[in-house]
């Protein structure tokens, strides 16, 4: 079974802090994704990556950046956390090509920014 | 932009009854239609999927139907059990564009024992 592991289940950070959310997958998938999930807004794509050192903006990239230095690891970075970034963050991976493959999700990181 | 509508947003059924969730989509290039189940405190997990060259697929108590002409697809769960209680998402995926993965807003299903 594919395993996508997010390093933290819960995080509490202060406004202005730099925050790193880590995600690791163990199935050698090419594609990795970061979503945020908010009540009433569903899942929204922040960034995705289809290869090492490659990244593409999703629907809501503002205030976020990503890093993919190794194939199995995809990091989401909040350069200066703000309260409106309080949310559930979900990492996912999929093999290439995405069009015919399901996403495999981690269990999420619930981030609270105070 | 492209979107996926999903109905109902909440659904409550008695244990043993059937549940049906319906989705409509706008992108005619969509060719892969997975369904995800998200239990409390967990990430979404794939439960069944269907490709555009297939009209129906069944896996034990779960079935999915697809009508590409009308651009709608449905999830059917028969003989529901309390452990089916979760949020269900329909999804469309299209073409070779990595960001053409569109989630429906979700249906919260409650199965009452």
Read out DSSP for A33-56? EEEEEETTTEEEEEEEESSTT--E
pLDDT (tens digit, 9 = 90+) per residue, A3-16?
A: 999 999 999 999 99
First and final C-alpha spacing in chain A: 37
Q: What is the pLDDT of residue B95?
A: 66
Distance set, CA A82 to CA A43, A67, A103, A105 (Å) = 19, 20, 28, 25
Q: Do A4 and B49 touch (CB under 8 A)?
A: no
| Mean per-residue pLDDT of chain A | 93
The reply to whether residue B43 touches residue A105, judged by beta carbons under 8 angstroms, is: yes
* 3-state SS track over chain B: CCCEEEECCEEEEECCCCEEEEEEECCCCEEEEEEEEECCCCCCEEEEEEECCCCEEEECCEEEEEECCCCEEEEEECCCCHHHCEEEEEEEEECCCCCCEEECCCEEEEEEC
Number of A/B CB contacts below 8 angstroms equals 60
A51 close to B (CB below 8 A): no
Interval B19-27 mean pLDDT = 96
A97: chain B residues, CB-CB within 8 Å: 96
A16 touches chain B (CB under 8 A): no
> Please, which pLDDT band fits residue B53 given cuts at 50, 70 and 90?
confident
Whether B98 shows a pLDDT value over 90: the answer reads: no
Rounded to whole angstroms, the Cα distance separating A86 from A34 reads 15
**Greater model confidence, A42 or A90:** A90
Are B35 and B75 contacting, i.e. CB atoms less than 8 angstroms apart?
Answer: yes
d(CA B110, CA B88): 11
Say which residue, B41 or B37, is predicted with more confidence: B37
Name beta bridge partners: A111.
A11, A87
- Residues on chain A touching B101 (C-beta within 8 angstroms): 33, 45, 98, 103
Q: What's the rounded mean pLDDT across residues A75-79?
A: 97
For residue A106, what is the nearest residue in chain B, using CA coordinates? B43
| Predicted pLDDT of residue B97 | 59
């Amino acid at each position: 079974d594919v395993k996508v592991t997010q390093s933290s289940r819960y995080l509490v950070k202060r406004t202005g802090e730099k925050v790193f959310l880590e995600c690791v997958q163990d199935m050698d998938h090419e594609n990795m994704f970061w979503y945020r999930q908010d009540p009433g807004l569903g899942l929204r794509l922040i960034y995705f990556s289809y290869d090492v050192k490659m990244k593409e903006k999703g629907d809501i990239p503002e205030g976020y950046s990503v890093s993919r230095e190794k194939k199995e690891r995809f990091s989401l970075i909040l350069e200066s956390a703000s309260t409106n970034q309080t949310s559930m963050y979900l990492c996912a991976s999929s093999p290439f090509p995405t069009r015919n493959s399901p996403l495999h999700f981690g269990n999420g990181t619930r981030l609270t920014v105070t | 932009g492209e979107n996926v509508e999903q109905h109902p947003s909440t659904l409550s059924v008695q244990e043993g009854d059937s549940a049906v969730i319906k989705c409509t989509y706008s992108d005619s290039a969509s060719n892969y239609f997975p369904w995800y189940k998200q239990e409390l405190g967990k990430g979404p997990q794939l439960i069944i999927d269907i490709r555009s060259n297939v009209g129906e697929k069944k896996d034990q108590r779960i079935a999915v139907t697809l009508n590409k002409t009308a651009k709608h697809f449905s999830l059917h769960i028969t003989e529901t059990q309390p452990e089916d209680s979760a949020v269900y998402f329909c999804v469309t995926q299209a073409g070779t564009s990595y960001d053409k993965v569109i989630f429906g807003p979700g249906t919260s299903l409650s199965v009452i024992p």
